[in-house]
């Protein structure tokens, strides 16, 4: 978690800066221009890739008899996603240095009192992976969809919404807008998706909930677009508030993306409806590059973080998953994958809506002597886990929360 610093831009009306003396200029020249960043933790990215991509690969190419054309398309998308992973690994350090020069950095609050707590950590690096994702998705569109494909309108609308959300997220990182504005940002970003959507307006009730609802399919009519809007708002903000630990924002997104991939393959194999199969194929083509570029960011954001992802990434991730679920026609199932985020949101409601006092950062207390975190009374899963299971390190707490996400 970061403590933000203002940019170095001079305020209007400030007197012009004085020229430094010659000895001060010489001393400044002796300081290296390029900040030194630690190399990414590729081992974490490799373990996560093996853990989450291996089941999808087995189901898509071994277990289920998917068509040869679909398998080739998945391989093509996977190859381009791998290129995106490599490009993101190269670009993140470059962008991090630029962010440090522009004073877009923060200090890790959960390491306060330690030497690592004084390190300037570049912020808002979600901007890099967001741009890489858009480029990969656009190029894939050129190689896969015909110019007259009926999916192109929704595909482009999805990318427009994601692009809009990346922009608004970066604006939030720079301006640090208040929470009431944060809640409204996804509403504007979802407009292209809402206007272009021409699919069905019914939702399939998940099988575990069918006995309680009494229906397998629920027709919403015009209320479906309202449901889409609320889902987009929830997904973007739920990832943003379930945060505060190195690797937690990206880690939960990787877990959800892997679950979406596996769900899509299973639905394609079990469904006989052509339109439903095409919707899930469409979802695979959007989520596979998203997962791989998130793995690249995870290599830099895992404990101890080399970069902070910023609101740019959390908003980008939430909107990407929302459009993937909506256009893949499994938005109700997507909410099941977001159950920890739903629980965290419900626990956070009293503070988010100021029924009880809400601090600036709802983080646990860090003891620099032991290196352990202690839970506070704040109503989020980070602190609730510490109160239930006792003190632990930041890395251990993040792993526990990700295991909870998987389960």
Residues 134-147 pLDDT 10s: 999 999 998 888 88
| Whole-number Å distance between alpha carbons of 300 and 310 | 13
Predicted confidence at residue 202, as pLDDT, reads: 79
| Whole-number Å distance between alpha carbons of 42 and 89 | 10
Q: Are 279 and 264 in contact (CB under 8 A)?
A: no
Residues 102-149 pLDDT 10s: 999 999 999 999 999 999 999 999 999 999 999 999 999 988 888 878
Q: Are 265 and 231 in contact (CB under 8 A)?
A: no
**Rounded to a whole number, what is the distance in angstroms from the first to the last CA of the chain?**
25
Q: Where are the domains of the chain?
A: 42-338
Predicted confidence at residue 32, as pLDDT, reads: 46
1-15, 259-273, 346-360, range with the lowest pLDDT: 1-15
* pTM exceeding the 0.75 threshold for the entire prediction: yes
When pLDDT is cut at 50, 70 and 90, the band that residue 5 belongs to is: very low
Predicted confidence at residue 198, as pLDDT, reads: 77
| Whole-number Å distance between alpha carbons of 122 and 394 | 19
| Whole-number Å distance between alpha carbons of 268 and 33 | 53
Q: Output the CA–CA distances (angstroms, integers) from residue 208 to 5, 204, 217, 332, 336, in the order listed.
A: 47, 12, 13, 12, 10
| Whole-number Å distance between alpha carbons of 129 and 114 | 30
Residues 338-391 pLDDT 10s: 999 999 999 999 988 888 888 878 999 999 999 999 999 999 999 999 999 999
Q: Could you tell me what percent of the chain has a pLDDT over 70? A: 91
**Rg of the chain over all Cα atoms, to the nearest angstrom:** 22
Residues 210-247 pLDDT 10s: 888 788 888 888 888 898 899 999 999 999 999 999 99
Q: Are 295 and 129 in contact (CB under 8 A)?
A: no
Q: At residue 35, does pLDDT exceed 70?
A: no
Peptide bond preceding 304 in cis form (omega within 30 of 0)? yes
């Amino acid at each position: 978690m970061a403590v933000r610093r203002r940019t170095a831009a001079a305020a209007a009306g400030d007197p012009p800066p004085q020229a430094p003396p010659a000895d001060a200029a010489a001393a400044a020249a002796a300081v290296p221009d390029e900040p030194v960043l630690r190399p990414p933790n590729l081992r974490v990215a490799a373990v996560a890739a093996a853990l989450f991509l291996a089941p999808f690969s087995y189901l898509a190419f071994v277990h289920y008899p998917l068509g040869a054309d679909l398998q080739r398309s998945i391989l093509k998308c996977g190859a381009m996603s791998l290129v995106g992973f490599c490009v993101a690994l190269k670009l993140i350090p470059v962008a991090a240095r630029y962010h440090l020069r522009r004073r877009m950095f923060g200090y890790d609050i959960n390491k306060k009192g330690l030497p690592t707590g004084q390190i300037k950590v570049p912020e808002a690096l979600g901007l890099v992976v967001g741009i890489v994702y858009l480029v990969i998705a656009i190029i894939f569109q050129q190689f896969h969809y015909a110019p007259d494909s009926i999916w192109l309108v929704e595909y482009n609308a999805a990318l427009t919404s994601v692009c809009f959300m990346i922009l608004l997220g970066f604006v939030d990182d720079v301006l640090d807008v208040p929470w009431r504005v944060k809640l409204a940002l996804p509403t504007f970003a979802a407009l292209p998706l809402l206007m272009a959507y021409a699919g069905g307006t019914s939702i399939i009730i998940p099988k575990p909930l069918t006995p309680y609802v009494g229906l397998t399919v629920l027709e919403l009519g015009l209320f479906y677009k309202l449901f889409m809007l609320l889902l987009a708002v929830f997904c973007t903000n739920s990832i943003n508030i379930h945060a505060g630990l190195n690797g937690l924002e990206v880690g939960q997104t990787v877990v959800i993306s892997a679950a979406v991939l596996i769900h899509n393959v299973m639905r394609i194999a079990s469904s006989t409806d052509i339109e439903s199969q095409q919707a899930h194929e469409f979802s695979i083509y959007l989520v596979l590059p998203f997962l791989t570029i998130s793995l690249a960011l995870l290599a830099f954001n895992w404990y101890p973080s080399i970069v902070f992802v910023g609101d740019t990434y959390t908003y980008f991730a939430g909107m990407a998953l929302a459009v993937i679920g909506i256009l893949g026609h499994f938005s109700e199932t997507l909410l099941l994958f977001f159950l920890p985020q739903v629980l965290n949101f419900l626990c956070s409601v009293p503070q988010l809506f100021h029924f009880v006092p809400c601090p600036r950062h709802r983080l646990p207390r860090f003891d620099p002597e032991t290196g352990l975190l202690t839970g506070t009374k704040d109503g989020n899963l980070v602190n609730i886990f510490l109160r239930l299971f006792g003190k632990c390190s930041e890395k251990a707490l993040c792993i526990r929360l990700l295991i909870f996400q998987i389960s």
